[in-house]
Amino acid sequence: MGERLPTWFISHGGGPWPWIPEMRAMFANLEAALKGIAAAVGKPRAVLCISGHWENEAFAVMHAARPPMVYDYYGFPPHTYEIVYPAPGAPELAERTAALIEGAGLSARLDDEQGFDHGTFVPLAVMYPEADVPVFQVSIRRDYDPAAHVALGRALAPLREEGVLILGSGLSYHNLRLMGPEARAPSSAFDAWLTQALALPPAERLEAVLNWEKAPAARIAHPREDHLVPLFVALGAAEHEPAIRDYHEEGLFGGVTASNFRFG
């Protein structure tokens, strides 16, 4: 068994921002934070990304040796639909991961078709620009059930001692219909609650997260919680370890507050 790696929940930004100069400038602090994760971890055996952009009825594990690209964004310049992040997949680790999930009493399947969505290839291109670390994904479940995704994280926890970096990739605020100055109050309120909740002792923290809909501005910050669900997994994989907010920014897109959290 090796050193136990931390897990992270990251706010992955907007669309293919590293390839658009004006957007990259807006996300300069996020870029620095992502590079800081890579510096802290070094090159892991693999990165396992749980992205808010891949949903299934049951958990699925990316199994391709050479995953294709998924351009799951709209209205961006033509060159952003030609991006290739050529990191290898991790089929053997995918099989190990599916076995861990099933061993926890959760349904899982291997998926040989799924490619890297932008919740994965965008942060990874910043963290490991040489694409020399194997990358694979586990889908979130379409029911968004908090307890099931915490349980997924618990099932994945042994991978942390096997050199696998577990990265929950979403956004701490994700309401595309309420951006700009109108997002300032709800995103700030929810982010403040989230920061306080994750600082609680483990049992209280878990209860707060499982009941996240009671948080201030919860359903304004997350009309659909697809971009919050990856946090449940990152937390479950480090359930009894402290959380540290290692990126925080106010005023993105003219008003959005967003944060990243490290567990362990």
On whether residue 192 sits in a domain, the answer given is no
- Residue 60 · residue 117 · CB < 8 Å: no
* Domain interval for residue 134: 7-178+223-246
pLDDT over 60 at 1, yes or no:
no
In-domain check, residue 130: yes
- pLDDT tens string 174-184: 998 889 999 99
Model pLDDT for residues 113-164, shown as the tens digit of each residue: 999 999 999 999 999 999 999 999 999 999 999 999 999 999 999 999 999 9
Indicate whether 172 belongs to any domain: yes
Of the CA atoms within 13 Å of residue 260, those in its CB half-sphere come to 23
Q: Provide CB contacts within 8 A for 8, sequence distance 6+.
A: 37, 165, 166, 167, 168, 234, 260, 261, 262, 263
The answer to whether residue 200 is domain-embedded is: no
Alpha-carbon gap, residue 252 to 264, rounded angstroms: 27
Q: Check if the beta carbon of residue 8 is closer than 8 Å to that of residue 260.
A: yes
Q: Kindly state whether residue 199 falls inside one of the protein's structural domains.
A: no
> What is the spatial distance between Cα 165 and Cα 120, in angstroms, rounded to a whole number?
13
| Separation between Cα atoms, residue 144 and residue 12, nearest integer Å | 19
pLDDT at residue 27, rounded to an integer: 95
Buried b (16+ CB within 10 A) or exposed e, 18-45: bbbeebbebbeebbebbeebbeebeebe
Kindly give the interhelix angle for 202-210 and 184-198, rounded to the nearest 10 degrees: 150
Residue 21 lies in a domain: yes
Task: State the chain's mean pLDDT as an integer.
Answer: 96
Residue with tokens 């997949």: 89
Could you tell me how many residues make up the chain? 264
Q: What is the pLDDT of residues 182-202, one digit of tens each?
A: 999 999 999 999 999 999 999
What share of the chain has pLDDT > 90, as a percent?
A: 97
CATH of residue 51's domain is: 3.40.830.10
Please indicate, yes or no, if residue 197 is contained in any of the structural domains: no
Task: Convert the pLDDT of each residue in 21-53 to its tens digit.
Answer: 999 999 999 999 999 999 999 999 999 999 999
Interval 232-248: pLDDT, tens:
999 999 999 999 999 99
262 domain residue, yes or no: no
Amino acid at 69: M
Report the C-alpha gap between 152 and 148 in whole angstroms.
Answer: 6
Total domains, the chain: 1
pLDDT of residue 177: 87
